[in-house]
Structure 1
Amino acid sequence: MIPPSPSVGSTLQCIKRDHNGQEVWRYEGTVRDTSDAMVMIEAVFNRDDRDMGYVVFRRGDWLYEWFFRDRWYNIFELHDVDDQRIKGWYCNFTRPADWDEEQLWQDDLALDLFIYPDGRTLLLDLDEFAELPISVRDREEVEAARADLLAQVGARTAPFDRIKG
């Protein structure tokens, strides 16, 4: 049985865990959309500014974040705190998410994909992913998820329909 989903407008605790299921970060978001297989929240970046070399995350930047029970990734659409422009999409490769009415949790598998506003892509943390002690099945699922995301970017399906160019 699928647990109840959170209500639109409610606050959801988002728990990022490592590949072993250990909590590494927790933050809150406001539920904006939900179904049996997906939750979309709006959240604010609440850490100090971080220059990642390919994008700068600034305190107060806001994000739309999609989590899925049936996909091996999530999608974060990053908006600038000052002018609300889309800075890009940050996709974490993860085990499928799960949630109840108050919390959402997901195991991060280190590999990430950044999509620039013009559609260019950058695969991140490949070395870290290669060193994770995870199963062959997990690696195959991540590779299939990567192909799925790249196909969505190429086809400009939502939320990538706002790519310029």
Structure 2
Amino acid sequence: MAILTAGSDVTVTLTKRERTKVRYPATVVHDDGTRLAVRAPWAGVADRDFGFVRFEHGDVFTEHYWRDRWYAVKEVRSADGALKGWYCDITRPAAVGDGTLLVEDLDLDLWVSADGGTVLRLDEDEFEESGLRTRDPEAADRAREALEALEALARAEGLAGLPAGRTPA
């Protein structure tokens, strides 16, 4: 298993339905063989307003991935360091190799505002339309379980300490 060195560069590749959705450079913050964290600026070409949060040029994402869990937690901060919140992707466990971090997005997402007062499930319609339940029922069940666990944790305790070791059931 490849372990990434803190301070090294890595290319994050997010795929969706076997196609590359986005690819961007990041800097490794931590990798213990199970959980890894990278830091990267907002990778979008343009600012993006979701209605509940706006991702903008200068925003910094500290992204936490696991090789054994079905989600990624991305802490989002503005250019001045103010916490905007956490964007969580429901994914297959992360794969690492040869300077690349590969993550397969399973369409379900969760947004948690900085104050924890807003917890939103996102893209459930896309998940149902994806056909994952037919193609890979076990993965679809794992994705739903991951979303449920993250949402329960966000509502009960928030996500601020999640990357440091707390784990949803």
Normalised to the residue count of structure 2, the TM-score between the two structures is 0.87
Is the partner of 2:151 in helix, strand or coil? helix
Checking the alignment, whether the CA contact within 8 Å between 1:9 and 1:32 is kept in structure 2 is: yes
Q: Is the 8 A contact 1:40 1:67 kept in 2?
A: yes
1:77 aligns with 2:83: no
* Post-superposition offset of 1:160: 7.9
How far off is 1:61 after superposition?
Answer: 0.3
Task: Return the match for 2:37 from 23, 40, 55.
Answer: 40
Change (3 A) 1:7 1:144: same
The Cα shift of 1:100 comes to 2.0
Q: Tell which deviates more after alignment, 50-59 or 135-144.
A: 135-144
TM-score by length of 1: 0.89
1:155 is aligned to 157
Residue type of the partner of 1:16?
L
- Which amino acid is 2:152 matched to? A
Deviation at 1:152, TM superposition (A): 2.7
Q: Is the 8 A contact 1:92 1:113 kept in 2?
A: yes
CA shift at 1:35, angstroms?
1.1
Q: Partner residue of 1:97?
A: 94
Among residues 57, 60, 76, which one is paired with 1:59 in the alignment? 57
Distance 2:163 2:37 in 1: 15
Q: Aligned partner of 2:104: which letter?
A: D
Equivalent-residue separation in structure 1 for 2:43 and 2:67 (angstroms): 25
Q: 5+ residue gaps in structure 1?
A: none
Aligned residue-pair number = 157
Say which SS state the counterpart of residue 93 (structure 2) adopts: coil
In structure 2, the partner of 1:18 is 16
Q: Contact (CA 8 Å) 1:7, 1:101: kept in 2 or not?
A: no
Aligned partner of 1:108: which letter?
D
Any gaps of 5 or more consecutive residues in structure 2? 165-169
Alpha-carbon displacement from aligned partner over 1:15-59 (angstroms, at most 9, x marks no partner)? 00013x321210011101111111101110132111111100001
Deviation at 1:110, TM superposition (A): 1.0
* In structure 1, distance between residues paired with 2:16 and 2:40: 20
Q: 2: CA distance between counterparts of 1:113 and 1:61?
A: 19
- Name the aligned partner's letter for residue 50 of structure 1: R
Please say if residues 98 and 105 of structure 1, whose CA atoms lie closer than 8 Å, have aligned partners that are also in contact: yes
Decide whether aligned partners of structure 1 residues 45 and 98 sit closer, same or farther in structure 2, where only a CA change above 3 A counts: same
Residue 126 of structure 2 aligns with which residue? 128
Matched, 1:27 2:24: yes
